[in-house]
Structures are given as structure tokens and as C-alpha cells.
């Protein structure tokens, strides 16, 4: 990825954290190590106590950054979607042809993250895997409506809206632009999960196969209509 990304700070809703983890060394270590730990042990087994031991700090200190591990997950997910959105906007901004633009977009949001920018403390490859395995848990809760109202999911929603708008730009009459956009994002994560754990339920085995699958899907739906 472009080195420029390094200097861009992903803007995350301040209500998600108690204290901005980007504002201190401890905060950055919390983010850095939590990604490694959640990836290793899964979100359920991950605790602030264990994280404290790992970063040589104290449980109570971590609570000064995040109310609980659910909020930390919301933070990591927001960061990931913000990072993806940045890449998307950066890569498609100059494309004026609507079809090309959507193609590029699908490519970006469905390709697996394979290399770490290795500039920041955030390992994007592992974060992508965390999003695949844990993102649903961040919204499949009883608190979803309240948290949505607080704006904890704006970045994700904005991303879906961007894709939806591009779909509409190609076919203004297609009545399911938002559903299709959300299917691409969600469905892509799901296909990667299936590839790793239920290989018989997917055809996406090769590298970046979800991209080919969704490109075929989307343009089978949209293009014939515009002819």
C-alpha cells in the first residue's frame, strides 16, 4: 500500500474509547497487542487481564482506554473499515467510468489483505482476519440499536453507501442497490470464512477468488439491464 496511508489517521468516533489509544505509547501497545491476541486466541478467550500481562501493564490501565473488550472490538473494526474506505476512495477517485469504478471497488473490498503496511503498530493482515472471524459479534447484540444511534458503525455504513451509490450510477433502475452493496461486503467476509473452515460450501479456493465471484455476480446483474 501507498506510503501515504502511513500519515493518515483513521478518524474514529470518540465515544468508542475512554482515552484515545493513539495518544500514548501504552494506548498504541494496547491496539498492537490486542490484534495479535484476539487473532491467536479468539475474541471469547481474550481478556484485558491477559492483555495486561502481555504488554507488561495493568488491567486497570487498559480500562482507562476502553470501557470493555466489546468497545475495543468496535474500535478495531472501525479502524479496519476506515482503512479500507481510505484505500477505496484513494484508488477510485480518479476513475470516471462508472463500471470501471465499481470494478475497482469490488476488487478492493473483496481482496484479502495479504500484506502488512508494516509502518504502523497495526497489523492489517491479522486485523482483516479478525474482521472475518469477529466482526459480526460486534453488532449481533441486544445493544445494537443504542450503539448504532451512538454512531459506532458510521464508517461501515458509509462504505456500504459508497458502494450502493456506485451501483446506482451504473443502473439507476436496479431496485436493490443497498442490499447488493451490503451483500458484497458481508458476503466477501463470509466466503473467506467458508474457504478456511467449510471449503465444501464455497468455490472460492484460489487466492482472491471472492473478487472473481463478486465481479461476476454484480456485473451479471447490472450490465445486461443497461444494454
Partner DNA sequence: ATATAATGATAGTAATGCTATTATATTTGA
Partner DNA sequence: TCAAATATAATAGCATTACTATCATTATAT
Q: Using CB under 7 A as the criterion, which residues of the chain lie in contact with DNA when the complex forms?
A: 19, 24-27, 45, 47-50, 56-61, 63-64, 67-70
Q: Which residue is associated with the grid cell 500484506?
A: 115
Q: Which residues bind its own copies (CB under 8 A)?
A: 41-42, 44-45, 133-134, 136-137, 139-142, 144-145, 148, 153, 157, 160-161, 175-183, 186-187, 190-191, 193-194, 197-198, 200-204, 210, 213, 216-217, 220-221, 224
Q: Could you tell me if 74 and 152 are in contact, meaning their C-beta atoms sit under 8 angstroms apart?
A: yes
Q: Residue 88: enclosing H or E segment and its boundaries?
A: helix 69-92
Cell numbers at 45, concatenated: 478467550
Dist. CA 146–CA 74, nearest whole Å: 14
**Closest to DNA by CB, 8 or 53:** 53
Nearest-CA neighbor of 88 among 2, 173, 172, 15?
2
Q: Could you tell me if 162 and 87 are in contact, meaning their C-beta atoms sit under 8 angstroms apart?
A: no
**Closest to its own copies by CB, 89 or 144:** 144
First to last CA, the chain: 36
Q: Which does 64 bind (CB under 5 to 8 A by kind): DNA, its own copies, none?
A: DNA
Q: What minimum distance in Å lies between the beta carbon of 156 and DNA?
A: 22
Q: Could you tell me if 203 and 216 are in contact, meaning their C-beta atoms sit under 8 angstroms apart?
A: no
**Closest to its own copies by CB, 127 or 160:** 160
Q: What minimum distance in Å lies between the beta carbon of 204 and DNA?
A: 33
Q: What minimum distance in Å lies between the beta carbon of 92 and DNA?
A: 38
Q: Could you tell me if 1 and 87 are in contact, meaning their C-beta atoms sit under 8 angstroms apart?
A: yes
Q: What minimum distance in Å lies between the beta carbon of 63 and its own copies?
A: 20
**Closest to DNA by CB, 59 or 186:** 59
Q: What minimum distance in Å lies between the beta carbon of 78 and its own copies?
A: 15
Q: Could you tell me if 164 and 178 are in contact, meaning their C-beta atoms sit under 8 angstroms apart?
A: yes
**Closest to DNA by CB, 5 or 18:** 18
Amino acid at each position: 500500500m501507498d506510503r501515504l496511508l502511513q500519515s493518515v489517521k483513521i478518524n474514529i468516533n470518540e465515544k468508542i474509547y475512554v482515552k484515545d489509544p493513539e495518544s500514548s505509547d501504552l494506548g498504541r501497545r494496547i491496539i498492537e497487542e490486542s490484534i495479535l491476541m484476539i487473532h491467536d486466541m479468539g475474541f471469547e478467550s481474550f481478556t484485558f487481564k491477559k492483555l495486561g500481562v502481555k504488554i507488561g501493564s495493568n488491567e486497570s490501565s487498559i480500562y482507562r482506554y476502553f470501557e470493555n473488550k466489546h468497545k475495543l472490538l468496535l474500535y478495531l473494526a472501525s479502524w479496519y473499515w476506515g482503512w479500507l474506505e481510505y484505500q477505496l476512495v484513494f484508488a477510485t477517485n480518479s476513475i470516471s467510468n462508472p463500471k470501471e469504478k465499481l470494478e475497482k471497488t469490488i476488487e478492493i473490498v473483496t481482496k484479502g489483505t495479504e500484506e502488512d503496511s508494516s509502518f504502523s503498530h497495526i497489523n492489517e493482515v491479522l486485523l482483516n482476519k479478525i474482521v472475518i472471524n469477529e466482526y459480526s459479534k460486534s453488532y449481533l447484540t441486544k445493544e445494537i440499536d443504542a450503539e448504532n444511534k451512538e454512531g459506532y458503525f458510521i464508517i461501515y455504513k458509509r462504505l456500504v453507501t459508497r458502494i450502493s451509490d456506485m451501483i446506482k450510477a451504473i443502473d439507476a433502475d436496479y431496485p436493490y442497490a443497498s442490499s447488493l452493496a451490503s451483500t458484497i461486503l458481508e458476503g466477501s467476509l463470509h466466503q473467506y470464512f467458508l474457504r478456511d473452515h467449510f471449503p465444501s460450501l464455497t468455490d472460492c479456493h484460489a487466492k482472491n477468488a471472492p473478487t472473481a465471484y463478486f465481479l461476476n455476480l454484480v456485473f451479471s446483474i447490472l450490465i445486461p439491464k443497461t444494454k
